[in-house]
Amino acid sequence: MKTVEFYYDLVSPYSYLARGEVTRICQERGAELVLRPMLLGAVHNAVGLQAPIETKPKARYQAKDIQRWAGHYGLPMDFPEPFPFRTLKTMRTAMFLQGRGELEAFTREAFALYWEEGGAPKGLEEADEDGPVSEVARRIGAEAEEVLAGASAPGAKEALKAATGEAVERGVFGAPAFFVGDEMFWGNDRLHFVEAALGRA
């Protein structure tokens, strides 16, 4: 079966924008969507990139661009404040739930909470993620305390570190990034190339 690998972090607005569209493309093309959580800040550090928000003219442009894309896709958008928000425990949670077969549901509900409903973490301390992660856990029918404990366990921490390192090794430098076979495409505005690659696969 053809696959599309989707590298993302919940802090990435363009990953939020891409999720529904890449899901649609995979469904229409008979391809499997493989979710690849990673820690975007660690990727940026590894490859020597600043987050776009660090460059004020680019940050101002992207604020408008993100709203344009949300309108284009017909997606609700409640831009989080503050931004960027912390996602270390969120992405560790993703790794923990991947092992339980609940990654897709967690990703879907977390994107909705963080980007559509104003529910993203409000601070940069570890505890600031507990409430949002617990809410997403409840939405997918999981025990919040068990999920928080799993996200804090060494296995989830090492899994996220390994997944992020693998992303860098494959050439990922930002989010979202997609692979069809060995070919990488970066950005939600490259999804037409992803679709074309599936047609050739």
Q: Which of 31-45, 51-65, 87-101, 175-189 has the lowest mean pLDDT?
A: 51-65
Q: Which two tokens stand for residue 52?
A: 């776009």
Sign of the C-alpha dihedral computed for residues 65, 68, 74 and 80 taken in this order = positive
pLDDT of residue 115: 98
pLDDT of residue 22: 98
pLDDT band per the 50, 70, 90 thresholds, residue 50 = confident
pLDDT of residue 36: 98
Rounded Cα gap, residues 9 and 24, in angstroms: 19
pLDDT in tens, 66-78: 999 999 999 999 9
pLDDT band per the 50, 70, 90 thresholds, residue 53 = confident
Mean pLDDT score, 161-169:
98
pLDDT of residue 160: 98
pLDDT band per the 50, 70, 90 thresholds, residue 92 = very high
Domains annotated on the chain, with CATH: 3-200 (3.40.30.10)
Mean pLDDT score, 154-181:
98
Mean pLDDT score, 140-169:
98
pLDDT in tens, 10-35: 999 999 999 999 999 999 999 999 99
Rounded Cα gap, residues 64 and 70, in angstroms: 10
Of the candidates 11, 48, 56, the one whose C-alpha atom is nearest the C-alpha of residue 175 is 11
pLDDT in tens, 110-130: 999 999 999 999 999 999 999
Mean pLDDT score, 43-47:
97
pLDDT band per the 50, 70, 90 thresholds, residue 39 = very high
C-alpha distances in Å from residue 65, one per residue of 35, 68, 92, 141, 165: 25, 5, 29, 35, 29
Q: What is the 3-state secondary structure (H, E, C) of the chain?
A: CCEEEEEECCCCHHHHHHHHHHHHHHHHHCCEEEEEECCHHHHHHHHCCCCHHHCHHHHHHHHHHHHHHHHHHCCCCCCCCCCCCCCHHHHHHHHHHHCCCCHHHHHHHHHHHHHHCCCCCCCCCHHHHHHHHHHHHHHCCCCHHHHHHHHHCHHHHHHHHHHHHHHHHCCCCCCCEEEECCEEEECHHHHHHHHHHHHHC
Q: Which two tokens stand for residue 117?
A: 């409903």
Rounded Cα gap, residues 66 and 12, in angstroms: 11
- Does the pLDDT of residue 201 top 80, yes or no? no
pLDDT band per the 50, 70, 90 thresholds, residue 51 = confident
Rounded Cα gap, residues 51 and 59, in angstroms: 9
pLDDT of residue 52: 81
